[in-house]
Amino acid sequence: MCYSNNRLRPVMLAGTGSDVGKSMIAAGLCRIFRQDGYRPAPFKAQNMALNSYATPDGREIGRAQAVQAEAAGIPCSTDMNPILLKPSTDMTSQVIVNGVPIGNRKAGEYFRRATFDSLRREAHAAFDRLNALYNPIVIEGAGSITELNLRDTDIVNMPMARYADAAVIVVADIDRGGVFASVYGSVMLQTPDDRRRIKGIIINKFRGDINLFTKGREILEDICGVPVIGVVPMARDIHIEEEDSVSVKMKGRTAVSGKINVAVLLLSHMANFTDFDAMERDDRVNLYYTATPAELLKADIIIIPGSKSTIDDLRRIRDNGCAEAVLRARRDGKTVMGICGGYQIMGLEVSDPDGVEGEPGSVCNGLGLLPVRTILTPEKVTRQVRFTHRGSDDVCEGYEIHMGVTRRCGDAAPLNRFADGSEEGCMADGRTFGTYIHGILDNKAVTDALLAPYLDRTDARGAATDYRTYRESQYDAWAAVLRESLDIQLLYNIMKCND
């Protein structure tokens, strides 16, 4: 059976392991299909990530699927990621189904058969709704497709490919080594039926002369029985927002001269690290991540990021000396900014009467940099917002994802004002402020105001670029890399036939 010229079979990008580049390749294929006149949409049945995003209707999905939807040129929706797990501890995660939290679950409880049967039905229903509206569906797998001990409870890899009748492409990261064993094992450890669904291989993150891997391609095709669709180079000049904080390990760790130094306090439960991607591209800035007091004190600006466990992170930064370093930096005239959980940390106290993060009734003193008090609440605020910043007339955009209510005390000034006139955030002075708005640093008006006091520290005088335009250029650049690296016609032929 073959699909019509206007209808393509779903394609699944399945990994030999985590962080092999599935998310980024999915984004690139979404852009290519859009460029070629199709109306693609991304899909990942289950995502585990602290990096999430608010949909236009005020629900929550993994950031990776929001990025892929942007590459596809369509609004994101919960059908693109119906199940999201946000780890709270090594053993516990908040479970979000169709964009709404249903509670915290321990791993043993989550992997019960009854739980998975219910979640599988939700994932299938979401796929069906998405598949009725868009074509083709670009499905992303999770981790490795050969976790044999989890095969009976898997809802995101080969069982999802079976349900969607998807052509499976195995993605392998050659940079980490062992590519022949990982690809061969990923193919041959499947059941005979699932093995027949695997239609191709993509070798990702190749360094050097790709022609040197010609023999390697031939060997893989011979031992696996499927074609190598392409070898994708290590594209360090392409910047697509990453799925989770694994990529933070590769980022800067120290201050430099000749730039405005912006230190992001590296929290144990840091969430939404993509809040800083735009600032990393600003020529005026050296942005780095650190949990070292000495490195914090070298910064001109310290940003305390979002956190999945605010109280625990607050206690940890007190224990490791980072809290005192932040307070000292502020006494020395440096700027301190908090986003979401970081905003809560900067206040007078954080209380947890309902046990949202831990023991019910717990109260923890904040850093005292902002005259605000936070009460953690079971209800989650999830919404996209438009606002003006510090009295500017420029309309900015961002999104909120938080569990807690923060109230200003006394005459403290708001930082932002929403379109309806309501106030948001807190500004103790021109160099101490906090906000619940993720993506706030994607806005030129905000970054220009933040950096203004320090422009004499840098030779780069240009203003921040428009980050939305920049992201669009990166999707196009990445699509061009994939067109050069992959046999796109072969991929189309695979997606037009069902055998």
Q: Is 224 a catalytic residue?
A: no
Q: How far apart are the C-alpha atoms of 4 and 417, rounded to whole Å?
A: 51
Two structure tokens written together for 493: 């032929």
C-alpha to C-alpha distances, 340 to 66, 156, 309, 435, 437, nearest whole angstrom: 20, 30, 11, 6, 7
Let me know the angle formed at the C-alpha of 351 by 345 and 357, rounded to the nearest 5 degrees: 85
Q: Quick one: CA torsion of 462, 466, 472, 477, rounded to 10 degrees?
A: 0
Does residue 199 sit in helix, strand or coil? strand
260 closest CA partner among 288, 239, 237: 288
Task: Please state the separation of Cα 144 from the chain's center in Å.
Answer: 19
Buried b (16+ CB within 10 A) or exposed e, 50-64: bbbbbbeeebbbbbb
Q: How far apart are the C-alpha atoms of 10 and 139, rounded to whole Å?
A: 7
Report the DSSP beta bridge partners of residue 400: 383
Q: How far apart are the C-alpha atoms of 24 and 268, rounded to whole Å?
A: 25
The DSSP result for 342-392, as a single string, is HHHHTSSEEEETT-SSSSTTEEEE---SSSEEEE--SSPEEEEEEEEETT-
450 closest CA partner among 430, 429, 423, 436: 430
Order of strands across the sheet with 137-144?
41-43, 137-144, 11-15, 167-173, 198-206, 228-233
What backbone phi and psi angles, to 5 degrees, belong to 55?
-75, 165
Q: How far apart are the C-alpha atoms of 62 and 104, rounded to whole Å?
A: 17
139 closest CA partner among 264, 331, 11: 11
Two structure tokens written together for 343: 């905003």
Q: Is 438 a catalytic residue?
A: yes
Report the relative pairing of strands 423-424 and 426-429 from DSSP bridges: unpaired
- What is the DSSP-derived secondary structure letter of residue 16? B
CB 430, CB 336: distance < 8 Å:
no
Kindly name the residue from 76, 340, 396, 426 that is annotated as catalytic. Answer: 340
CB 121, CB 111: distance < 8 Å:
no
Catalytic residues: 340, 438
